[in-house]
Amino acid sequence: MKTTTELTQEDKDFYSMAIEFASSENTDLSSQTVIQIINDEKDRQRKIEEEKKKRQEEIKRKQEEAEKEKQTQLKVLNDSLRVGLLKKSVIFKDTDKWIFKDVINMTLDIENTSDKKVKGFQGLITFKDMFDNDIKSLNVKYDEAITSGTSTTYDGSFEVNQFIKDDIEFRDTPLEKITVEFEMDQIIFDDGTTIKRSDIE
């Protein structure tokens, strides 16, 4: 193997890497000059860097695609249904009539604002006061079809726990002072598409 003493520190580093790589691969370098070895190692390192850059770009592309898909699915969850409170009434405790707790009856308006028929959904509805403070949250599950662009009503009720502040406040707040916020947890469309918040967040 021919040698030279006029090498920069960078060339020496490349030469060391070449020798180490050749040793690991059981490659014979005896027929090459030092300069040839260095140049071959520079080419090898350049290819390694190019491949590394390609992998990083591919990872970044996949991450961007995944984030785009995530935002698309979140938009479907957030925008497919609009929920409002149409009615709220209270049946007060009356032991003479075997009613042992106050009962709140309510009617929700559910509008399908998507471009597909909804087969069913579940999520969390939060009732707020006029200052946007949370009053009470309830889980809602609905398993009847709602055609795109149409609305339906959902009647529900629950007993008031006199020891829970949220129940009392919701009972006593007039309908006109209540606003509704709905967070979809899962929606199933008639075409079989299912989107779950827990799968994308």
Instruction: Encode pLDDT of 121-145 as tens digits.
Output: 999 999 999 999 999 999 999 999 9
What is the predicted pLDDT for the residue at 18? 87
- List of the chain residues with pLDDT < 50: 1-2
β-partners of residue 127 are: 136, 180
Tokens, residue 68: 């785009």
Query: By three-state DSSP, how is residue 21 classified?
Result: helix
What is the predicted pLDDT for the residue at 166? 95
Nearest alpha-carbon partner for 109 in 85, 138, 90, 93: 85
Angstrom distances, CA of residue 60 to CA of 31, 50, 52, 67, 124? 42, 15, 12, 10, 34
Q: What is the pTM of this model?
A: 0.73
What is the predicted pLDDT for the residue at 6? 77
Identify the burial level of 46 via C-beta atoms within 10 angstroms of its C-beta, where 0-12 means exposed, 13-18 middle and 19 or more buried.
Answer: exposed
